[in-house]
Amino acid sequence: MSVKRIISTPAVLVALTLTASCALAGPQTKLSLDPPLTVRFDDLNTSSTSGSRILYGRVSAAAVAVCSRGGGWYPTEHWAGKDCYRGTVDHVVSQLNIPLLTALHLESMHRTPVVADLQRSKR
């Protein structure tokens, strides 16, 4: 299997997951998924901490964009957007199955392990 194929498969998976997982996160008001978002990361070395941090930032930004479409200021819409964001990022990170990305996500959600610990264990 070529490196290009390994990278392109997750890129497509991220695009599909971002458009689909919002529906799984709970009720949304008039959520528009057109056009779907694609998160590319073929330019990143996801086995490095810096590459994984950049990818996590891209996934997070895409989840914010997807989950805030059509949202209003009512408390239920605010919490539905938060649930959508958490569910989307959780799902994308688990589907990509990149150890450093998973560690970053767990750390940012205050669920440990810390990325530095994972990086040390790889040596």
Q: What does the pLDDT look like over 6-55, one tens digit per residue? A: 555 555 455 545 555 544 444 544 445 556 788 999 999 999 999 999 99
When divided into structural domains, the chain yields a total of 1
Q: What does the pLDDT look like over 44-98, one tens digit per residue? A: 999 999 999 999 999 999 998 888 876 666 777 777 888 888 999 999 999 999 9
The torsion of the CA quartet 63, 68, 74, 77, rounded to 10 degrees, works out to -50
In terms of Cβ atoms closer than 10 Å to its own Cβ (0-12, 13-18, 19+), residue 37 is middle
Domain housing 70: 3-121
Predicted TM-score of the model (pTM): 0.64
